[in-house]
Structure 1
Amino acid sequence: MRNNLILFVLAIFIFSNCSNNTEQKTEKSNDLITKWRGVIKNSHQKEVPFYFTIQGEGKEQKWTLINGEERMEMDQPYYIGDSLHVPLLIYEAELVVKEGDTTIKGEFVRNGAYRLPFDAIKGNTQRFINGNQKAVKNISGTYAVKLGKTDAIGLFNQHENYLTGTFLTSTGDYRYLEGKVVGNKLFLSSFDGMHILLFEADIDGEKLVNGRMWSGKSATKVWNGIADKEAKLPDANELTFLKKGYDKFDFSFKNQKGETVSLANKKYKGKVVVIQIMGSWCPNCLDESKFFAPLYDRKNKEGLEVIGLSFERSSDPDKAYKRINSLKKRLNINYEVVYAGTTKKAASALPMLNHIMSFPTSIIVDRKGEVKLIHTGFNGPSTGHYYEDYVSETTSLINNLLEETE
């Protein structure tokens, strides 16, 4: 009996060690999945670290970004000469690298915008390699935060030194952040293919002080926070509204086939319609689409329609629809998404709204064509109960509207 117990413990030990290796075989494939620590260096020479995995080799590689609980699989890489190009989702960005056995070096390229140095090392190296001093405090909880001049809510979850979190603002959340607490300092970062984010701050009792945020190529802000379970932001359902003199929300845009898309179309008459003001370049819009796409599939036969009005950074409709169609394919979006113009012209394209404060903004219209709700921004799955509350309340409203007759 004693020998059997020893063998059992030994087996568990061996399995545990194997599971921590940097190279693991998938259950469905013999392809190795290798973990890497990547770093993008911004113009302030600050290193923004993140994790990713590579499955397979050569042109069959699959790159997956890791931020906290999120896993984001990139598009299929391709070679030009000896340089590997890794398209970053549907965004106008890519990693262009040269591969070594244990290192990768190259650039993060925002097409038409800027380039930043990128390198990576193979293995289980810590995301932040600035020491393992025991955390002076567990900061898990809700914080009232000032990000520059912007009011925000900070949500943090700490286990020993490991830290995850996000920030909510009136225009959306900062998605999944991951890092650590070292002594009295916190470090968080994220790279999701579009956002390059780094946060640092000192912990002073219930306060987060001397905070600094770096984003993209060179943007930076100071920030501070204080623990506050009651921290709140302005009501997202009251920030955008119909101007005085307008009692309806309406629009008319041509789709890729040249057909006019409008609420006056027979297809939308007598239906509950969600209008999604969005852009394929917008990670928060991607999160919102992940909610609306399956909801539309479930409720379409009951009378729900969704229309995406996509405001893009390109003024070329062909280029815009290439990105829009890529988004629809990736997220399995089965509702109409039309190119509505460039982001700079969004306000003039929809003059009945007081402003376009955020991408995304969603508008829910009942069977009579009356606006029942305008919701500014979107707080996604990284925000926990804030996301769950939104999903529950929005789904309930739509269900109630579907039960009404015209």
Structure 2
Amino acid sequence: MLLRRGILWLTLCLPLYGETVAGRWHAAVKTPSGEEAYFDLEVNHSGGEWQGMLINGRDRNVSSAGSFDGRKLRLEFNYWDGRLEADFENGELRGAFTRQSRKQVLARPFRARRTPLVSPASAPSVDAGGEWILDVGEGGGKEMWLASFEQDGARLQGVLIPVSGDYGMHTGFVDGNRILLTHFDGIRATILDARISDGRLVGTLKGSVSAMVTGRRPDKAGRQELNSSSLTTMKNPREAFRFSYPDLEGRVVSSTDARFRGKAVVVSISGSWCPNCHDEAVVLRMLYDRYHAKGLEIVALGFEYTGEKERDLRQLRLFAEKYKLPYPVLLAGTTENAQQTLGQLRNFRVYPTTLFIGKDGLVRRIHAGFEGPSTGARYAALQQEMTQWVESLLAE
């Protein structure tokens, strides 16, 4: 009898010891439109530490800290200035993912359970896999994006690629002639809901960007090009690009400093809140490690959300520490004043925007956006191009 009571007590108290919160969850956050962006959440408990991962296909965003008290799961994503808090009850998680967004805190309702939250109602009747050219928006605001999808039966995954760089790996399914792809990485919550008929894609993009979408297959095979290297230009190409901002220790670093004189310089206009900037930082560090001894200098100009100096510096420090960046990271301002601060640039629109500067201080190339690991071959090709651009600067 005592043994039975002990087993019953242990069963009732399992949630208090966190036994059932660990493992894989099917999760969703609500977008401003009220629709849900689906992803997976992996919760791990090892060595007394709790950790969570936001999973979108091959993409992983790992928490910086976590806790579970038997009722509430807390996961910190300090590099996004965000956190997930959810109550564990009746085998489900419900709460919110909150993060700092410019001057306000953005809260996205969150839920998760062990079984899928959404699934196709019918077998696929179209082949969505392969390359697409998307027209996003209408009228004068229309932009050309690229997309690349992989289909395996009803399962579908792929990337959306505007000029700013990719939106990360999206996952979903094909339901008849409908495709549903969603993504949430702690920053971007995106939903592509469309139908394919006669080789044309028509639907909506909702979430971080909301717009009508039409799509077509490329006219030619091979890598499709965006206007990444022509979007942003110097207003006066004969004028040296100038900067002078404090680093993370408060020391002012200027383009006229001796360390930059007569050197090839790469300037990344960046932000700790920008997923594509995180992807680029990995490549910039590789370039610095390989070419610094040969005369390459790199500097990141960080434009942050809040305008609260200590908070913005904290986020840039976390960014620099996460990738062990050996080059200066400067607090250049906020996203609100970036256009004014970067008055030498024409049509500055996306993060990151990267300047490749010759030994004479003049800008040789400006590349807008960054296509990260989710884009596969495009990521590899961009790394190769950036390497070539640096080598050409050093050869001057």
TM-score of Structure 1 vs Structure 2, range by shorter chain: 0.7 to 0.9
Shift of 1:116: 2.6
What residue number does 1:60 align with?
49
Matched, 1:236 2:228: yes
Matched, 1:307 2:315: no
Find the aligned partners of 2:256 and 2:70 in 1 and give their Cα distance.
52
**SS at the partner of 1:335?**
coil
Find the aligned partners of 1:86 and 1:345 in 2 and give their Cα distance.
32
Find the aligned partners of 2:31 and 2:47 in 1 and give their Cα distance.
28
Q: Is the 8 A contact 1:171 1:377 kept in 2?
A: yes
Structure 2: which amino acid aligns with 1:40? V
Find the aligned partners of 1:173 and 1:375 in 2 and give their Cα distance.
14
CA RMSD across the alignment: 2.4
Matched, 1:96 2:85: yes
Find the aligned partners of 1:336 and 1:40 in 2 and give their Cα distance.
36
What residue number does 1:21 align with?
none
Distance of aligned partners of 1:79 and 1:339 in 2 relative to their CA distance in 1, 3 Å threshold? farther
Q: Is the 8 A contact 1:141 1:229 kept in 2?
A: no
User: 2:189 aligned to 191, 196, 199, which one?
Assistant: 196
User: 1:224 aligned to 209, 214, 218, which one?
Assistant: 214
Shift of 1:58: 10
What residue number does 1:22 align with?
none
What residue number does 2:389 align with?
397
What residue number does 1:130 align with?
120
Show the 5 A alignment for 1:107-146: 107-111=96-100, 112-122=104-114, 125-126=115-116, 128-131=118-121, 133-146=122-135
User: 2:73 aligned to 68, 73, 84, which one?
Assistant: 84
Find the aligned partners of 2:330 and 2:63 in 1 and give their Cα distance.
24
Shift of 1:271: 1.8
Find the aligned partners of 1:100 and 1:57 in 2 and give their Cα distance.
22
What residue number does 2:38 align with?
49
- State the TM-score, normalized to the length of structure 1: 0.84
**SS at the partner of 1:322?**
helix
Q: Once the two structures are superposed, what CA deviation does each residue of 1:295-333 show, in whole Å capped at 9, x if it has no partner? A: 212222222111000001121221111000101111221
**SS at the partner of 1:257?**
coil
Q: Is the 8 A contact 1:279 1:359 kept in 2?
A: yes
**SS at the partner of 1:128?**
coil
| Greater CA drift, 258-267 or 57-66 | 57-66
Q: Is the 8 A contact 2:77 2:83 kept in 1?
A: yes
Identity across matched positions, percent: 29
Find the aligned partners of 1:235 and 1:117 in 2 and give their Cα distance.
36
Structure 2: which amino acid aligns with 1:325? R
What residue number does 1:105 align with?
94
Find the aligned partners of 2:41 and 2:242 in 1 and give their Cα distance.
43
Find the aligned partners of 1:33 and 1:395 in 2 and give their Cα distance.
42
Q: Once the two structures are superposed, what CA deviation does each residue of 1:135-164 show, in whole Å capped at 9, x if it has no partner? A: 112222211211112221121111111111
What residue number does 2:147 align with?
154
User: 1:167 aligned to 157, 160, 166, which one?
Assistant: 160
Show the 5 A alignment for 1:353-392: 353-392=345-384
What residue number does 2:26 align with?
37
Instruction: State the aligned residue count.
Output: 368
| Greater CA drift, 105-114 or 177-186 | 105-114
Q: Once the two structures are superposed, what CA deviation does each residue of 1:379-400 show, in whole Å capped at 9, x if it has no partner? A: 2122233222211111012123
Q: Is the 8 A contact 2:191 2:207 kept in 1?
A: yes
Structure 2: which amino acid aligns with 1:251? F
Find the aligned partners of 1:84 and 1:172 in 2 and give their Cα distance.
33
Structure 1: which amino acid aligns with 2:156? L
Shift of 1:101: 7.1
- State the TM-score, normalized to the length of structure 2: 0.86
- What residue ranges of structure 2 are gaps of 5+ in the alignment? 1-20
| Greater CA drift, 88-97 or 305-314 | 88-97
Structure 2: which amino acid aligns with 1:240? T
Q: Is the 8 A contact 1:240 1:353 kept in 2?
A: yes
Find the aligned partners of 1:192 and 1:276 in 2 and give their Cα distance.
22
**SS at the partner of 1:173?**
coil
Shift of 1:246: 4.6
Q: Is the 8 A contact 1:274 1:364 kept in 2?
A: yes
Q: Once the two structures are superposed, what CA deviation does each residue of 1:356-384 show, in whole Å capped at 9, x if it has no partner? A: 21111000112222211111111212223
Q: Is the 8 A contact 2:204 2:211 kept in 1?
A: yes
Matched, 1:212 2:210: no
Shift of 1:129: 2.0
Q: Is the 8 A contact 1:53 1:63 kept in 2?
A: yes
Find the aligned partners of 2:338 and 2:210 in 1 and give their Cα distance.
27
Find the aligned partners of 2:29 and 2:393 in 1 and give their Cα distance.
47
- What residue ranges of structure 1 are gaps of 5+ in the alignment? 1-31
Q: Once the two structures are superposed, what CA deviation does each residue of 1:42-96 show, in whole Å capped at 9, x if it has no partner? A: 3433222111211107961110111111122111024699643322351132211
What residue number does 2:8 align with?
none
